[in-house]
Amino acid sequence: MEIPYRNTKLLLKTIPKDTLLFRMVQNPIDDMRGVSIGDGKRCLTPNYNVFFYPNPFAGPIAFAKYPTHKKLDMVIYKLTTDIKVISLVKPSKYTRYTKNQPRTFIKRCSTVKKGCLPRSGTSYDPCLSDTIIKKYPDVVGILAISVSDTASIKRRLKKTKRFFKFAEDARNIPGIPELILHPLKQTIKKTSAKLKVC
């Protein structure tokens, strides 16, 4: 399935209901309700991203490089509905690096208006553009390969392909695709959550 965007087409992938997703996180309540901003209030912006891996082993290995990884817990989520995401793995001609190009469908999260969030996003994470969010509210995320996470996993496991199924993107970089999701069914209309904790 594809959607038009300016003079190109973007590849969509449907992630089916009941798919299990794995996440290393310190405060899982933020994943579905947004960041606490005090006085019992929370902030959940249209570009709010939650990062998952499709198996329980990738995250702990990838995040072992960070000093705070021992403070993170493994949380397992299950999709309560089918979801659509923009695929940045083959056969897509776009990759996570596309966020560095001008006037495109994803951008560096550091360039997104932070809105009610306490701080801006990071420069190395991709966020959907405002145009995509407004035009396709049922597209709730991105499937992409993180080069740095893949490098960490390869360093820590000598024979990674025995344990993980790798995909490739248009840069011919093999890696474990990461799902970057907005926690609601649509990115604009604040409908019910599409995830539940297992």
Q: What is the mean pLDDT of each run of 10 residues along the chain (198 residues)?
A: 94 96 89 87 90 88 74 89 96 96 94 89 93 93 91 74 81 92 70 54
CB of 25 closer than 8 Å to CB of 105: no
At residue 151, the pLDDT reads 83
Q: What pLDDT is attached to residue 196?
A: 60
Which residue ranges make up each domain of the chain?
Answer: 2-197
What does residue 121 show for φ and ψ, rounded to 5 degrees? -70, 180
Return d(Cα 193, Cα 130) in angstroms, integer: 21
Res 109: pLDDT: 94
The pTM (predicted TM-score) of the whole model is: 0.88
Dist CA 57 CA 76 (whole Å): 12
Give pLDDT, residue 154: 79
pLDDT, position 164: 76
Question: Could you tell me the sign of the dihedral formed by the alpha carbons of 47, 53, 56, 60, in that order?
Answer: negative
Q: Note the pLDDT of residue 51.
A: 93
110 DSSP 8-state letter: G
- What is the pairing mode between strands 83-87 and 139-145? parallel
Q: What tokens were used for 102?
A: 């001008």
**CA–CA distance, 129 with 111 (Å, rounded to integer):** 10
Could you say which DSSP state residue 50 is in? E
